[in-house]
Chains A and B, each alone.
Chain A
Amino acid sequence: MLIEFESVSVSFDAKTALDNINLKLDQKRIGVIGLNGSGKSTFARLLNGLIAPTEGTVTVGDINPATNPKAARQQTGFIFSNPDVQIIMPTVIEDVSFTLRSSKLSKDEIRSKALATLERFGIAHLADQAAHSLSSGQKQLLAISSIMVGEPKLIVADEPTALLDLANARLVSRVLLEQIEQQVVLVTHDLELAAKCDIVLLFAGAKLVEVGEPAPVISSYLAQN
């Protein structure tokens, strides 16, 4: 799916969060790196309409997320760094089923689809557990399941491994980069993870400073900091 940014700028009060971004992306695994406050998360939030550009136009597929956020959120699933804030319902199965609440499926169909998704990500045995009793890694897998059950075309993950230990971070990374067939935009400080992407975007001071193959972009980032 084509992601297109045309002269996109974002400002909050008097502060520029993104400055004149022009970009076309259709790669399957897109890494986004940069220091804190460089504009990475703002870039990610534009993709499903959580933030609207102050100037310019964002297009994801055929959808402009700023003018059609509802369609954008059906098309684009968003994974946050803190798994706790993403859990809406008390139990694991209910949280996954919640995504399908507006579908025309029957209750039994919703449950079996939710269970199949949990099975796919290896947490079906936790279906009836309280979501908050899970480990951080399991919660992040639950967040991924809750998004994947809605069959989005694009997954945006904003530092999904930031709060996880090494084993869980590896597990979630493997799921995002290898197990999911959809297009993934991965905002990360983990350069090993970024190196596995097809293309890497480097942000600095609200600007997109480099785009290209992972190795040279990551080397440039390391050289600058």
Chain B
Amino acid sequence: MRALFRPGASPLHRLAVAPKLLILIALVALLSVFGTNPTAVLAALAATTAFYKIAFPADGVSTLAKQIWSLKWLILIIVIPQVIFGAAWLPVATNALRLAIAIALATLFTLTTASEAMQVAIERAVGPLKRFGIKPETVSLTIAMTINAIPMILQFAKQTREAQLARGAKPSITLMTVPLLVASLKYADDFAEALAARGVEV
């Protein structure tokens, strides 16, 4: 799942990063404590839907649905072993939904927070570590570049899979590893050169 900032003027967009992060942590903590109660989880789903609707009045519900749908493989990986070992369906479904809601809430945080604002908050949070030789701006830049690299790596994975399919090979993790690694290392090399060209010492 990849979530990037979506501009908007909602109260969630305007909320400062630190309180928004604290609210997110509090909500996830509440989910952990009361998450075994199906009614509480359904209430959390309703609240999450409302948050998405507030953040994106035009398509909040469909955005949330897309986020949850993108978690289908993760949910299946968690659900299938429990079903195989005979767990009752209600606790399994409750747990899966609880996990999906927690991730959807975290995604809402990134969807409503500009990376620039996040960087400022990170720099402020890492500020006290300056005395140990850690540069806050380097930490925030590294995080921004990591966010930026995710779509590139996903694109390499897609291209590798397509190339293997085109040559009649069944895509597999084993076949995928080497070309993906080579493409990623080449990207890292070119990216380092581009960073140097823009005056960033690497």
Contact = CB atoms under 8 A, between A and B. Distances in A.
Contact of B194 (A88, A90, A91): A88
B114 interface: yes
A110 B51 CA distance: 32
B128 interface: no
B199 A73 contact: yes
Interface string B169-202: 0000000000000000001001101111111100
A90 B4 contact: yes
A21 interface: no
A87 B198 CA distance: 10
Interface in B132-179: 144-145, 147-148, 151-152
Q: Is the interface of B mostly helix, strand, loop or mixed?
A: helix
27 contacts: A48-B197, A50-B197, A73-B196, A73-B198, A73-B199, A74-B199, A78-B194, A80-B193, A80-B194, A80-B197, A82-B190, A88-B144, A88-B195, A88-B198, A89-B145, A90-B115, A90-B144, A91-B4, A91-B114, A94-B115, A94-B144, A98-B198, A102-B199, A128-B7, A131-B148, A132-B151, A146-B198
A91 B151 CA distance: 12
A70 interface: yes
A76 B129 CA distance: 35
B59 interface: no
A130 interface: yes
Given A73-B199, A84-B152, A94-B144, 16 more contacts: A70-B199, A73-B196, A80-B190, A80-B197, A85-B187, A85-B194, A86-B198, A88-B144, A90-B115, A98-B198, A102-B199, A130-B4, A130-B5, A130-B151, A132-B152, A146-B198
Interface of A: 48, 50, 69-70, 73-74, 77-78, 80, 82, 84-91, 94, 97-99, 102, 128, 130-132, 146-147
A21 to B, nearest CB: 21
A210 B57 CA distance: 63
Contacts of A132: 148, 151-152
Most buried by A among B7, B152, B199: B199
Interface residues of B, number: 23
Contacts of A77: 197
Interface in B78-120: 114-116
Contact of B144 (A73, A74, A89, A147): A89
Contacts of B197: 48, 50, 73, 77-78, 80
A67 to B, nearest CB: 16
B194 A86 contact: yes
Given A85-B190, A90-B4, A50 B148 contact: no
Contacts of B145: 88-89
Contact of B116 (A69, A85, A94, A131): A94
Nearest to B148: A90
The 6 closest A-B pairs by CB, nearest first: A78-B197, A85-B190, A132-B151, A128-B7, A130-B4, A73-B199
Contacts of A130: 4-5, 151
B191 to A, nearest CB: 5
Contacts of B193: 50, 80, 85
B153 to A, nearest CB: 11
B196 A50 contact: yes
A102 B148 CA distance: 21
A102 B114 CA distance: 20
A94 B115 CA distance: 8
